[in-house]
Structure 1
């Protein structure tokens, strides 16, 4: 069953975030993940959410998603992302 990582990211240091953005695709791919959404225009249709940079990744299953997130390679990049941005990440099981 596929699993999705959804992020709503507010970039506060674009130059530093660029380092994260440049390096993370290879780590995602190494864990069987792929981008479904990476930035792009966002329009709120209902509610009062504040959309920032939207990212949706698809992994083969939750085990692959969690292996990606907890991998040493990604944790190094998490430290960079957290200095360059704030936001929320969700792991979501698909069907």
Structure 2
């Protein structure tokens, strides 16, 4: 099942280390099937506050997302960004293609997922 690395990066001044990080990150993702899905896109805030940028990376599964993050190649370049941009990063498994929120709601109501 597809998994995602989602980062909320706070505003920061441009820095050469960050440029190098961006130049090198794709090569760290390639062995794990990682792809950018959102990179520094302008977000439309509808609820709450969202200072900064959003990055979404897609991996074939949560195991490969974890393996990428923990890989020596990524850990080597991570400080290039982390020293200059504060942020949060989470790894999260996606839902199955046939996911239906109404089944989840029904299960929460104690009907065992029956509609």
Structure 2 residues not aligned, in runs of 5+? 96-115
RMSD between superposed Cα atoms in Å: 1.2
Structure number having the greater strand percentage:
1
Secondary structure (helix, strand or coil) at the match of 2:41 reads coil
Secondary structure (helix, strand or coil) at the match of 1:14 reads coil
Q: Which moved more, 1:6-15 or 1:63-72?
A: 6-15
Structure 1 residues not aligned, in runs of 5+? none
Q: Which moved more, 1:54-63 or 1:6-15?
A: 6-15
Question: Paired residue for 1:38?
Answer: 39
CA distance, structure 2, for counterparts of residue 84 and residue 78 of structure 1 = 11
Higher relative contact order (CA 8 A, sep 6+): 1
Would you say how many aligned residue pairs link Structure 1 and Structure 2?
Answer: 94
Q: Which moved more, 1:62-71 or 1:50-59?
A: 50-59
Give CA-to-partner distance per residue, 1:34-85, whole Å, 9 cap, x none.
0110012111011x22231110011010100000000000001111111121
Which has more radius of gyration? Answer: 2
Question: Paired residue for 1:53?
Answer: 53
Question: Paired residue for 1:92?
Answer: 92
